[in-house]
A = this chain, B = another copy of it.
Amino acid sequence: MPNQATSTAPALGSADFLIARLHRTVRDHVEGPLAEAGFSLKAHWVLTCLLGEEPQSQQQVCNALAIDRSDMVRLVDELEERGLLTRTRDKKDRRKHTLALTKAGRAAQKLCDAAVNNALDSALQPLSRDERTTFHHLAGKALGLGERTPRKGKK
């Protein structure tokens, strides 16, 4: 494991520090279990993004996830190779690649989701359920993501 702050003095309350630390803590918790299931964080994001609103162009997914086009190519390459999504040319605009989940892709997403939610439970353990909901809501609001239904994972 990388670099866990060993208990000692927090000393810093700046929001940029807290968010950076939180980011790493969450990543450290989630990455392992996901990797065991054979996925990266971003692969999970892509699958989840497609699950939401299914046929989307690569570019749309890039925009939704704030992932660079050149990264997306590699991500989609792999997911396609593993038969988790299909990549077809848009007939109306042949520049675009339309992405859609396969059945296996939907199953993979579900699997990832379970692993991620489980890992998040332990990463955010100090927070109560209500606190997590509030935190979640505020994070979304801070990002300017309009008012969406939270879509919480059920236990």
Contacts and interface: CB of A to CB of B under 8 A. Distances in A.
Contacts of A52: 9, 11-12
A25 interface: yes
Interface in A123-155: 123-124, 126-127, 131-132, 134-136, 138-146, 148, 150-152
Contacts of A26: 15-16, 19-20
The main secondary structure of chain A at its interface with chain B is helix
A126 B141 contact: yes
A30 interface: yes
Interface residues of A, number: 66
Given A11-B48, A65-B5, A142-B135, A19 B16 contact: no
Q: Name, among A12, A113, A151, A152, the residue most crowded by chain B CB atoms within 10 Å (CB to CB).
A: A12
Given A22-B142, A135-B139, A141-B131, A6 B63 contact: yes
A141 B138 CA distance: 15
Contacts of A11: 48-49, 52-53, 64-65
A23 to B, nearest CB: 4
Top 3 closest A-B pairs, CB basis?
A23-B23, A5-B66, A10-B145
Interface of A: 2-27, 30, 41, 44-45, 48-49, 52-53, 60, 63-68, 113, 116, 120, 123-124, 126-127, 131-132, 134-136, 138-146, 148, 150-152
